């Protein structure tokens, strides 16, 4: 089915482990985004990508790594997970034109770090 999918939907891991959240979109959208959602905060941008091999930091990038070798995939890696990274993570994509185009969100990944 066309759309944007995130995997896994739920993940529990331990402090210090590496974990990768996957995001895949079938629209060939240029832009992709990773957000985290925490109580008391709006969605906060972690990283975004304007095209394959182009990524840039958002508001809260520390502790995260992204890559975009293919247009359709935008994985987010926590290299050494910490409890403060327990959150719900949303991936989104938008067409070229960036801020002039609406973002389409995935269903989210709920990540718990023990």
Partner 1 sequence: ILNVEQSPQSLHVQEGDSTNFTCSFPSSNFYALHWYRWETAKSPEALFVMTLNGDEKKKGRISATLNTKEGYSYLYIKGSQPEDSATYLCAPHTGNQFYFGTGTSLTVIP
Which chain residues interact with partner 1 by CB under 8 A?
35, 40-45, 48, 56, 58-59, 90, 99-108
CA dist 61 and 103 (Å) reads 20
E strand intervals along 1-114: 4-7, 10-13, 19-25, 31-37, 44-51, 54-57, 64-66, 76-78, 87-94, 104-105, 109-113
Pick 87 or 103: Cβ nearer partner 1 = 103
Q: For residue 60, give both structure tokens.
A: 């809260």
Least Cβ distance, residue 17 to partner 1 (angstroms): 26
The two most distant CA atoms of the chain are separated, in Å, by: 40
Least Cβ distance, residue 109 to partner 1 (angstroms): 11
Pick 69 or 99: Cβ nearer partner 1 = 99
Pick 62 or 102: Cβ nearer partner 1 = 102
Least Cβ distance, residue 99 to partner 1 (angstroms): 4
Least Cβ distance, residue 92 to partner 1 (angstroms): 8
Q: Vertex 6, ends 5 and 8: CA angle to 5°?
A: 135
Pick 9 or 70: Cβ nearer partner 1 = 9
């Amino acid at each position: 089915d066309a759309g944007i999918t995130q995997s896994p939907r739920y993940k529990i891991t331990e402090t210090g482990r590496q974990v990768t959240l996957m995001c895949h979109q079938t629209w060939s959208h240029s832009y992709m985004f990773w957000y985290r959602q925490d109580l008391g905060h709006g969605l906060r941008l972690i990283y975004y990508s304007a095209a394959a091999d182009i990524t840039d930091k958002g508001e809260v990038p520390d502790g995260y790594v992204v890559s975009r070798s293919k247009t359709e995939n935008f994985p987010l890696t926590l290299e050494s997970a910490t409890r403060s990274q327990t959150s719900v993570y949303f991936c989104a994509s938008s067409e070229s034109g960036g801020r002039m185009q609406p973002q389409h969100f995935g269903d989210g990944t709920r990540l718990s770090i023990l």
